[in-house]
Copies of this chain bind each other. A is one copy, B any other.
């Protein structure tokens, strides 16, 4: 945030989200013809079922598509066929290698004093337990910081239970806080000699479908198996600890497969433009194995393809090329986004803008951006045009999203059409991420907003500047 100067208008937007340009003459505006096309695209988007058809096809015909799995490979072939059928050009798969992780089986039970099964799921990239599982006394911590503050002795051979709850929010900010325990709990448990960790799911629902999600071990710390309990099961374990007179003993049995190098890939298709400038949009093609990846992130793929197609249907080529990327292997470590940045390093200077859709299928309620110095005001006409869809102006200093992070860090400006995520973490990373959770009307509103945004991004005079390259963080 320290490397970007904020214009007075943008500052207002950041602070109040209700902004009127300080000086109307400084603000770029659409031409009358452009404004008419925006209206046309909004109207068409609100009546377009292509996104639903794409999403139904992907989630039904492929279903779950774990990164680097055979199902993800089938999804890539599906993507190529779909883009070709819709008339996209330069359709291709760009592969990359990555480590592979797969869940085989997972079971947990309270052994004593109140014997009963618990619903658990292994976190992505967790090691398995020794064969036959581990059986040990439970030690509960209210939060991750409470565990991090605990002494280093006294937890050897125990199973640590981090019971931290996630707060429901519209913008997903509760996730940022709660997700820290997915990697943090294993790290802290490993340091203390625990034999396993169980966390309360990073999720906001009350169903017995625990939430998986990626985790990472810290170099040099013993790798402890980690699993998530569903919220009702975390409640149950906490109650058992409250009511029991004796230690609560749990058995956890996780079996996983880990391989060094497997193949994943990005699927790419384009609506060619008149110039060699490129706008990159998309969603990620992989999903967790538990659900069919409707909200995470089939919807992102469906929305961005349908919106690009609407823009492509207008008379004449767009000014800039609209490139749709179905990113591979996002969930397990953003492999697709990183591979894209590496594979397209020589043309990133022609990438004038990037945006991704990866927060479900809720209605878009805010337009966020980070454009280069001198181009910040270009968000204003976009926001104004989107207002008829109920979209408010948002901050102008945002991150943009995980898969476009690597190219943003190399200077590519980003925008984000923020979706209402109030219910997103009820289903996120669970078996319940299925098509019935998507509201067709909200999906159409997304397509309308994306089509309008894409058209403006393609047609507006001048580019969106460049972001100062970020020092390599990894």
A70 to chain B, nearest CB (A): 9
Residues facing B in A81-122 (CB within 8 A) are 110, 113-117, 119
Q: Cβ of A259 < 8 Å from any Cβ of B?
A: no
Task: Please list 19 pairs of residues, one from A and one from B, whose beta carbons are closer than 8 Å in the complex, sorted by A's number.
Answer: A60-B114, A60-B236, A61-B113, A61-B114, A62-B114, A62-B116, A63-B115, A63-B236, A119-B431, A206-B434, A207-B209, A207-B432, A208-B209, A208-B434, A209-B209, A235-B434, A236-B292, A236-B434, A236-B435
Question: By the criterion CB–CB under 8 Å, are A64 and B243 in contact?
Answer: no
Contacts A59-B236, A235-B435, A236-B292 supplied; 5 other A-B pairs, CB < 8 Å: A60-B239, A63-B110, A63-B114, A232-B435, A235-B434
Known contacts A64-B116, A114-B62, A436 near B243 by CB under 8 Å: no
A174 to chain B, nearest CB (A): 19
Q: Cβ of A56 < 8 Å from any Cβ of B?
A: yes
Question: By the criterion CB–CB under 8 Å, are B235 and A292 in contact?
Answer: no
A364 to chain B, nearest CB (A): 23
Question: By the criterion CB–CB under 8 Å, are B239 and A56 in contact?
Answer: yes
Known contacts A116-B292, A208-B431, A292-B116, A60 near B243 by CB under 8 Å: yes
Q: Cβ of A27 < 8 Å from any Cβ of B?
A: no
Question: By the criterion CB–CB under 8 Å, are B432 and A116 in contact?
Answer: no
Which residues of the partner chain B approach A235 to less than 8 Å between Cβ atoms? 434-436
Give complex CA distance A294, B116 in Å. Answer: 14
Question: By the criterion CB–CB under 8 Å, are A432 and B232 in contact?
Answer: yes
Question: By the criterion CB–CB under 8 Å, are A432 and B60 in contact?
Answer: no
Question: By the criterion CB–CB under 8 Å, are B232 and A436 in contact?
Answer: yes
Which residues of the partner chain B approach A208 to less than 8 Å between Cβ atoms? 209, 291, 430-432, 434
Which residues of the partner chain B approach A71 to less than 8 Å between Cβ atoms? 115-116
B interface footprint on A212-241 (CB within 8 Å = 1, 0 otherwise): 000000000000000000011001100110
Q: Cβ of A57 < 8 Å from any Cβ of B?
A: yes
Q: Cβ of A437 < 8 Å from any Cβ of B?
A: yes
Give complex CA distance A462, B60 in Å. Answer: 65
Which residues of the partner chain B approach A114 to less than 8 Å between Cβ atoms? 60-63
B interface footprint on A42-84 (CB within 8 Å = 1, 0 otherwise): 0000000000000011011111100000010000000000000
Give complex CA distance A206, B64 in Å. Answer: 18
Q: Pick the contact of A206: B56, B236, B437 (CB < 8 A).
A: B437
Q: Pick the contact of A231: B115, B119, B436 (CB < 8 A).
A: B436
A298 to chain B, nearest CB (A): 13
Give complex CA distance A60, B248 in Å. Answer: 12
Which residues of the partner chain B approach A64 to less than 8 Å between Cβ atoms? 116-117
A117 to chain B, nearest CB (A): 8
Which residues of the partner chain B approach A57 to less than 8 Å between Cβ atoms? 243
Residues facing B in A400-455 (CB within 8 A) are 430-432, 434-437
Which residues of the partner chain B approach A437 to less than 8 Å between Cβ atoms? 206
Give complex CA distance A207, B119 in Å. Answer: 15
A248 to chain B, nearest CB (A): 11
**In the complex, which residue of chain B has the Cβ closest to the Cβ of A291?**
B208
Which residues of the partner chain B approach A243 to less than 8 Å between Cβ atoms? 56-57, 60-61
**In the complex, which residue of chain B has the Cβ closest to the Cβ of A206?**
B436
Give complex CA distance A251, B173 in Å. Answer: 42
